A and B are shown apart, each in its own frame.
Chain A
């Protein structure tokens, strides 16, 4: 089972370049999330989408945009990459039923370096 698929797995960018990180899930989940993970900081939420057609800012949204393309896909875009955006990016999804004890399911991460 694929679960949550992120592409690419690795990327090196120059400062000022743009790129889009792709995420797709095949579990029919309503909610999707983008996190960044930096050493000593844990996971910090960038943006999330509670359901198709909605997106909301998380803890660290500056410098990023997202698109919930359909129920399966949730992309993260860096319009003008900065060295401070060097990080590991995780996409996650979860069920949308209430009440629920369903956890988030994570992709394998994208390691992004900005020079």
Chain B
């Protein structure tokens, strides 16, 4: 079974609108961390936001927020006020367990295109 599932291969959003990128995960470990990364066409991986399994509140970082629904095992990324520079691939990832040395699992990504 896939550890991380991203069901939207491609998404389009109008500039200045908000967009939600879906991510569901599968784990039986009560301790885990969820991460979102952005990969622009230049290829580098940029960390955006983190949510821990024990965090009570949804994570926010500037225009990025994470809609964490633990019972549904979903961790959707919300980008508010989209900008042209937000056009990129977005990857959801999970680290199982408490230790940062553990494996990270990545989804297959969602390609976001922001339309002027």
Contacts and interface: CB of A to CB of B under 8 A. Distances in A.
Interface of A: 30-31, 33, 35, 40-45, 48-51, 58, 88, 90, 92, 94-106, 108-109
Interface string B81-111: 0000000000101000011111111111100
A50 B45 contact: no
Contact of B91 (A43, A92, A100): A43
Contacts of B99: 50, 96, 98
Q: What is the interface residue range for chain B against chain A?
A: 20 to 34
Given A42-B91, A88-B43, A101-B50, A50 B102 contact: yes
Contacts of A42: 4, 6, 91, 106-109
Given A95-B100, A103-B37, 5 more contacts: A33-B104, A40-B108, A92-B104, A103-B35, A109-B44
Interface string B29-43: 001010101000001
Nearest to B42: A108
Contact of B100 (A44, A49, A100): A100
B103 A101 contact: no
Interface in B1-58: 4, 6, 9, 31, 33, 35, 37, 43-45, 47, 50, 52
Q: Is the interface of A mostly helix, strand, loop or mixed?
A: loop
B103 A45 contact: yes
A103 B100 CA distance: 8
Contacts of A41: 108
Most buried by A among B37, B47, B106: B106
A31 B104 CA distance: 11
Contacts of A102: 100
B21 to A, nearest CB: 14
A104 B104 contact: yes
Nearest to A41: B108
A44 B50 CA distance: 20
Nearest to A88: B43
Contacts of B43: 88, 108-109
